[in-house]
């Protein structure tokens, strides 16, 4: 491992911001915005690698596996964030996509001294969730060399779990321990070494792609609508009603009736309206076709 932190791409000084401390507010914002625009282009260069990673995740998850993010500091927080948003957005179990951060819950708001350097901690954290060969572990480290993440990936490989990694440097160390490495090279930060900025944005963009595309492939989306949204509060109930309206073209009153007669299951409500099947038959039809509305409708109307 390269011991000289200063040689990493993420630690280089940005020539465009050498005098940012002397700029006006407008100019500071402009240069940050200009640098941020480079992030999407850097992600674009890794689309092929991201695609391979998604397909690998989907294969494992389809067979009962889980997606586990593991990281330290900002990277770890981003993994926890992405994982925590999957259940309310797509109605999946909190166990399907999990985020593990070095130092545990305390590290979400505070730095935990030595956590990112602990190899033993990573192994213990993965053993605690009973990681197995059916799972996928995604190691997150902007620098590509965090010991906690490396140890986690090594342990995952030792039990034949699928591994992928996301870093923001060329030839990251964590890439060596990933079946599917992703390296988004965003260049030097606006503030030297502040990888919560471009590197953090890049990682968040990739995580968005991984989890969103996985959920689409799992049938959690119909058209571009979140049909597995869980209406657990007033706002989400209104969203569910709106989704049923958009999918079926019915009135708000009818959409609400459909939801009530289908136990507030958006998918069953949509399928019931389009097929005239009752809740149980709609539910069974969805199960038969991997909970995918489009597939279920296609097969139903083939008859």
Q: Which residue has the higher pLDDT, 291 or 36?
A: 36
Whether 153 is covered by a domain: the verdict is yes
Of 183, 217, 251, the last residue of a domain is 217
Whether 225 is covered by a domain: the verdict is no
Same domain, 140 and 286: no
Kindly state the percentage of the chain with pLDDT values over 90. Answer: 86
Same domain, 202 and 242: no
Number of domains in the chain: 2
Of 217, 242, 267, the last residue of a domain is 217
Same domain, 172 and 260: no
At residue 230, the pLDDT reads: 83
Whether 9 is covered by a domain: the verdict is yes
Expressed as residue numbers, the domain containing 266 is 234-300
Same domain, 103 and 248: no
Query: Domain of 49: which CATH number?
Result: 3.40.50.10490
Q: Are 227 and 270 in contact (CB under 8 A)?
A: yes
In this predicted structure, the answer to whether residue 229 has a pLDDT above a threshold of 70 is yes
Whether 193 is covered by a domain: the verdict is yes
- Whole-angstrom distance, CA of residue 76 vs CA of residue 109: 11
pLDDT band at 290 (very low <50, low <70, confident <90, very high): confident
At residue 303, the pLDDT reads: 64
- Whole-angstrom distance, CA of residue 205 vs CA of residue 228: 22
**Residue in 44, 46, 59, 85 annotated catalytic:** 85
Q: Are 131 and 160 in contact (CB under 8 A)?
A: no
Per-residue pLDDT reduced to its tens digit, 242-253: 999 999 999 999
Of 189, 217, 245, the last residue of a domain is 217
| Residue 116 among the catalytic residues | yes
Mean pLDDT across 274-302 = 93
- Whole-angstrom distance, CA of residue 49 vs CA of residue 179: 11
Same domain, 250 and 201: no
Per-residue pLDDT reduced to its tens digit, 176-197: 999 999 999 999 999 999 999 9
| Residue 35 among the catalytic residues | no
**Residue in 35, 46, 116, 183 annotated catalytic:** 116
Same domain, 90 and 119: yes
Rounded to 5°, the CA angle 285-246-218 comes to: 45
Per-residue pLDDT reduced to its tens digit, 98-143: 999 999 999 898 888 788 988 999 999 999 999 999 999 999 999 9
Same domain, 260 and 168: no
Query: Domain of 289: which CATH number?
Result: 1.10.8.1080
Mean pLDDT across 253-282 = 95
Whether 56 is covered by a domain: the verdict is yes
In this predicted structure, the answer to whether residue 15 has a pLDDT above a threshold of 60 is yes
DSSP assignment of 205-243, as one string?
HHHHHHHHHHHHHTT--BTTB-TT----SHHHHHHHHHH
Whether 76 is covered by a domain: the verdict is yes
Same domain, 32 and 168: yes
In this predicted structure, the answer to whether residue 1 has a pLDDT above a threshold of 80 is no
At residue 11, the pLDDT reads: 87
């Amino acid at each position: 491992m390269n011991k000289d932190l200063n040689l990493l791409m993420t630690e280089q000084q940005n020539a465009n911001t050498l005098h940012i401390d002397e700029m006006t507010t407008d100019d500071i914002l402009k240069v940050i915005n200009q640098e941020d625009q480079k992030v999407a282009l850097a992600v674009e260069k890794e689309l092929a690698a991201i695609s391979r990673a998604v397909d690998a995740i989907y294969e494992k998850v389809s067979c009962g596996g889980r997606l586990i993010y593991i990281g330290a500091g900002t990277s770890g927080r981003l993994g926890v964030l992405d994982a925590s948003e999957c259940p309310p957005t797509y109605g999946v179990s909190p166990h399907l996509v999990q985020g593990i951060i070095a130092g545990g819950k305390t590290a979400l708001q505070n730095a935990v001294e030595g956590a990112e350097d602990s190899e033993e901690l990573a192994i213990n954290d993965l053993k605690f969730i009973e990681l197995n060969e059916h799972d996928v572990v995604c190691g997150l480290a902007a620098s590509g060399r965090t010991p906690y993440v490396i140890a986690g990936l090594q342990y995952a490989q030792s039990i034949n779990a699928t591994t992928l990694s996301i870093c923001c440097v060329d030839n990251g160390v964590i890439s060596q321990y990933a079946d599917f490495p992703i390296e988004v090279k965003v260049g030097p930060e606006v503030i030297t070494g502040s990888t919560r900025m471009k590197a953090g944005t890049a990682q968040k963009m990739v995580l968005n792609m991984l989890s969103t595309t996985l959920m689409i492939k799992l049938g959690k989306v119909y058209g571009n609508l979140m049909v597995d949204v869980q209406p657990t509060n007033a706002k989400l109930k209104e969203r569910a009603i709106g989704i049923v309206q958009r999918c079926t073209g019915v009135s708000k009153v009818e959409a609400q009736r459909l939801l009530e007669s289908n136990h507030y299951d958006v998918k069953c409500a949509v399928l019931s309206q389009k097929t005239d099947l009752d809740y149980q038959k709609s539910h069974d039809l969805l199960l038969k076709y991997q909970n995918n509305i489009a597939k279920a409708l296609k097969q139903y109307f083939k008859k």
